[in-house]
Structure 1
C-alpha cells in the first residue's frame, strides 16, 4: 500500500442511527441501496458512550470517554486535544482545513416549527399535544422549498466536490438525521407501510430485573400505554428519514465520481449511537443506556481498493476509527490513543482484532448535572436531577456472545446475545446463569477480567500531560474529605484498563498483575467510580467494591 498515492476520505456521519435499521445489517423492511453498496461492514462495532458529544469525542480522539472526562453533551474537545479532523489529517497532509462553502440560497431557513405541519394520523390526532410530543414525533414535513441542516450539508458537499483540491483531501459530512424529532417530507414519509414495519421489542418479562431508569421514563413520559399502531407510525417515519439519508449519501458518492476521485477515495459511514425507537417501551436514548440498539454502530468502510461485500463479525470499538484512517493516510498519530487499526480486517475479515468491546456512561450521585434542556427534553432532564441514581455510572463489556453491565447504584446485568439479541432477559444472579463452560460469562459472573500475560501497553510515545492527568501517588498524605453517605465503609480499587485488551479486575482475581490501594472514597485520586486515569503509563478504571 505504501507504493500507492495516499487516498482521499469522505467521512459520512449520521446522528442516532441504529445499525439494525439498515438493509445491509439485516433489516428486510427497508432498502438502503447506496449504503449497502459500500464495501466492508462491521457487524459488531460498538460506541464507547451512548450520547452524542461524548461518543463523537471518543471517535475523533481514539480515547475512551473518561480519559479526558468527555462525558457530557457540553464538555467538547479543546484546542489542545487531539482531533482526527483537525490535527491528525489536514496538517500532516500538507494543507489547512478547507473552508466550508455557504449552503445555496433557499426561500427561507429551515424551521423547527410544527404550526404548518400536519399532525399524526387522524385515528390518534386527539393525542397530538400529549403522547406524540413525548415520542418526539412531528409527522410529515411540508415540501415548501425550505432546507434543513442535513440538506445544507449535502449541498455544501456537492458544491465543494465540484472543484476539489489536487492533493489528498478529507470531506467530513455530519448529518442530523435520523435524530429526533421524527419528521420527514415526501416521498420518504409515505414510503413505508405502517402495517408492515416491525413492532418494537417488548419490555423485559421481569421489570424488576431491568435498570430503574426504564420504568421511570415510561412513567414520567406517559408512554406506558402507547399502542402498537403508534409505535409503528414512529418507526415508519424513522425509516423514512433513513431512506432520505441514503439518497443523500448517493448524491455525495455521485459527486465524488463526477470529480474523478472515486478510485482514490475511502468512504467511512458511521454513527455516534443508536435509538430505542420503542424497544423496551422507550424512545430516544439515555446517558447510562447500554442496550444493543443504542450502542451498536453501523460502521462501514469502502473504497481504497478494498474488496466489496465483506462482512466482518470481529469485535470492534469505535475508537478504532482514528488509527484506521491514520494508517490508510500513512500519517503517524501525534498522541497516544487506545484504538487499533482495522486495516488488517479489511484485508482478512477473519483475522484477530479484539475479544471485547467496552461502553461507559452515566454519572455519580454527587456530580452536577449540567444539562437543562427545554421541551421536549425537559422531563428527561428533570428525572436526572430529581433522582441522580437513575443515571448512575455504568460500564458494559461485550464479546461475540455475551453482554455484561456493571452499574454503580444497581445490580449488574448479563445477557446472552446469541439467544437474546435484544437483551431483554437479565441472567445475572438468576437460576439461568450460564454454566462455567461459557468463558466470557463465567468471568463476568465471577467479576474477574484478567489481562493476558502477553498484553502490555504500547509505549511508542509518552501520554500527553495535558490530555489525561495522572493520579497522585498512593503515599499522598493530604487529609481525606468525608465520604458521601452512600459510600461509607467502601474503598476504591484501581483496575488496569489495558491498552491492548481492557479488563475489569476485582478481588476475585488475586493473581492479576494490578496493584490495589484500599483508600477512603475520593482520596487520594480525587476520582469518582468509573473514572479513568493513568497510573505509571497505564490507564486505570476506578471502581467501588464493598469491604
Structure 2
C-alpha cells in the first residue's frame, strides 16, 4: 500500500484494550449474564471476530507485537521485565512502529493507561501524548491517581476481605481477589476513563475542524481484569455465583500432558478452592469485567456526544486471556490453551453493520489496520488489515490457521502452536507434544498426540508449522526438523560458519 499524503482526510481511531480478559466474559461471545451492555452494543454496530488470537499470551511480548507489527521472536521482547529470565527489557533501536507511521501521516497520538512495552521507555518515547504507567498491575501509588483521589475527595485505596490461595504446606499463597473500600467513581479504572475522556475532548477539537482537521489515534489500555480482582462491593457481588457454569476443563487431570502444567497448578495452588469458591471467584472476575464495561460505556458516550461516531473507527481487544481456574490453572503461563490465546476482538467502523467473522485473525492484524486507515505503508507489518473483512468483502488467500509462540514466564520455556478449525498441535521441546481434536474435545482435555488414529493429522500439522516457521525466520523450526517427522526434502538446514570451511573430497 502506498502512503497517503498527510493532509488527506482520514478516520480517527479509538483503540480500547484490556489485560487478561477471557472471551467468555462478554455477551457478544455467548455469556448470558448481561453484564457487558456497552461492549455488546459496540459489537452490534461492527464486526465481532470469533477466531482472534494473541501472538503470545504474555503482556509485554504481545503489546510489543502490537506496536511493531512483528512477531515476538522478531522484536525480541519475550517476557515481562518483572519476571525476566535473561531476555531483553527494551525494544531494539530502529524497529518500525505504527506510531511512527501514523505521525508521518499527520496523526496526533494519545495513550492512556497500561503501557508495559519494555521497562523504562514509555508511550512518550514512541510519539504518544501520555504518561508512562509501568508494570503489570494497577499503579495504586501513582502520584497522578493519588492526586486525582484528593482532588475529588475520594477515599484512598484500601482492600478488605482479601482472598488468598493456600499452599500445600498451609501457608498463605497468592492474592486472588478482594473488596476495595471505594465507590466506583474512585477506582483506578474510573481514573483512566476520566483521562481518556479528557484527551478525547482535546483531540476532538482538532479533528472536527472543517478544514485541515487533525486526525487522531487514541488508545486506552485498562490494567484489568488481570488478577487480583480488586473491585468495589457493588461489582464484587454483582453476578450470582449460582448462575456461573464452570468450563469443562475444570475436570483437568494433566494425564498425558507436559509435567510443567501440574507444577504450575501447584505454584498457583489452584486446587485449594472448592467448586463453589471457584464459581464465586469467576463471578467476581465477571464483575470486574462489568465494571470495566461501565467505564468503556462512559468513553463511548462521549464519542457520540462529540459527534465523532461518523468519523472514528473504534476497536476493542485484549492482549491475552486468563485461566481463572480453567485447566486447574490460574493467570497465564506454559500451556497454550484457548483460554489464554483466544482473545475478544471487535472492530466498529463508521457506517458498517453488525457482522460475525470466523476466519483466524491475529493481534498483529490490528497493527496493519491502523496503517491502512491512516494510509500508511504497512509492508513491514506481519499482519493483514481487517478492513476488508469488516466491509464484508471477498478476500482471497486469508490464513486458514494461526501460529503462536511462547518463550517463558517466571522461567524460560519455549513452545510453538498451530491451530486450524479442527485440530491444534503444540510443540514442547521440554516435554511431551500436544495434539487436540478441537471438534470432539473443545475443552482440550485429552492429548491424542500418540493415538494412531491422529498420526497423519499430527504429521500434517507439524509440517505446516515447520513451513510457516521457516518462512518467518523463526529458528524454532530447527527443533522441528530435528525432533519431528519433517521429510528430508522439506528441511531447510542453515549452514554453520565452521561448515563453510569444510571441503568435500
Map of 2:56 onto structure 1: 49
* SS at 2:179 equivalent: strand
In structure 2, how many angstroms separate the alpha carbons of the residues matched to 1:404 and 1:259? 48
Map of 2:400 onto structure 1: 355
Name stretches of at least 5 consecutive residues in structure 2 with no aligned partner: 82-88, 110-126, 132-143, 208-213, 501-505
Q: Which has the higher contact order (CA 8 A, sep 6+)?
A: 2
- 2:27 matched to 1:23? yes
In structure 2, how many angstroms separate the alpha carbons of the residues matched to 1:408 and 1:128? 29
Partner of residue 370 from structure 2, selected from 325, 331, 335? 325
* SS at 1:362 equivalent: strand
Tell me how large the CA RMSD over aligned residues is: 3.8
For residues 27-426 of structure 1, the aligned pairs below 5 Å read 27-38=31-42, 39-74=46-81, 75-84=89-98, 86-95=99-108, 97=127, 99-100=129-130, 105-107=148-150, 113-114=158-159, 117-119=160-162, 134=173, 136-143=175-182, 147-164=186-203, 165-166=206-207, 167-203=214-250, 207-286=254-333, 288-307=334-353, 309-333=354-378, 336-348=380-392, 351-352=395-396, 353-363=398-408, 381=410, 384=411, 391-426=412-447
- CA gap 1:81/1:263 in 2 versus in 1, 3 angstroms: same
- 2:494 matched to 1:509? no
- 2:478 matched to 1:493? yes
- CA gap 1:412/1:492 in 2 versus in 1, 3 angstroms: closer
Partners of 1:30 and 1:239 within 8 A in 2: no
**Which runs of 4 or more aligned residues in structure 1 lie more than 6 Å from their structure 2 counterparts after TM superposition?**
101-104, 108-112, 125-133
- CA gap 1:202/1:323 in 2 versus in 1, 3 angstroms: closer
Partners of 2:177 and 2:281 within 8 A in 1: no
- CA gap 1:146/1:450 in 2 versus in 1, 3 angstroms: closer
In structure 2, how many angstroms separate the alpha carbons of the residues matched to 1:298 and 1:270? 5
In structure 1, how many angstroms separate the alpha carbons of the residues matched to 2:352 and 2:480? 39
* SS at 1:67 equivalent: helix
- CA gap 1:244/1:146 in 2 versus in 1, 3 angstroms: closer
In structure 1, how many angstroms separate the alpha carbons of the residues matched to 2:169 and 2:102? 47
What is the TM-score with the length of structure 2 in the denominator? 0.78
Structure 1 residue 40: Cα displacement: 0.5
In structure 2, how many angstroms separate the alpha carbons of the residues matched to 1:5 and 1:61? 24
* SS at 1:66 equivalent: helix
Partners of 1:14 and 1:175 within 8 A in 2: yes
What is the TM-score with the length of structure 1 in the denominator? 0.72
In structure 2, how many angstroms separate the alpha carbons of the residues matched to 1:507 and 1:145? 56
Structure 1 residue 77: Cα displacement: 3.0
- CA gap 1:266/1:29 in 2 versus in 1, 3 angstroms: same
* SS at 2:161 equivalent: coil
* SS at 1:184 equivalent: strand
- CA gap 1:392/1:118 in 2 versus in 1, 3 angstroms: closer
In structure 1, how many angstroms separate the alpha carbons of the residues matched to 2:313 and 2:155? 31
In structure 1, how many angstroms separate the alpha carbons of the residues matched to 2:258 and 2:466? 27
* SS at 1:11 equivalent: strand
Deviations 1:415-446 (A, max 9, x none): 11122222111111125x4375xxx655026x
Structure 1 residue 36: Cα displacement: 1.2
In structure 1, how many angstroms separate the alpha carbons of the residues matched to 2:185 and 2:300? 23
Give the number of the structure whose residues are more often helix, by fraction: 2
Structure 1 residue 450: Cα displacement: 7.1
Deviations 1:459-503 (A, max 9, x none): xxxxxxxxx9x99xxxxxxxxxxxxxxxxxxx983889xxxxxxx
Name stretches of at least 5 consecutive residues in structure 1 with no aligned partner: 364-370, 372-380, 385-390, 459-467, 472-490, 497-503, 526-547
Partners of 1:203 and 1:424 within 8 A in 2: no
In structure 1, how many angstroms separate the alpha carbons of the residues matched to 2:194 and 2:172? 30
- CA gap 1:212/1:203 in 2 versus in 1, 3 angstroms: farther
In structure 2, how many angstroms separate the alpha carbons of the residues matched to 1:424 and 1:36? 30
- CA gap 1:22/1:110 in 2 versus in 1, 3 angstroms: farther
Deviations 1:89-137 (A, max 9, x none): 13322546563486773238996653xx1345xxxx9979998964532
- CA gap 1:98/1:205 in 2 versus in 1, 3 angstroms: closer
* SS at 2:194 equivalent: helix
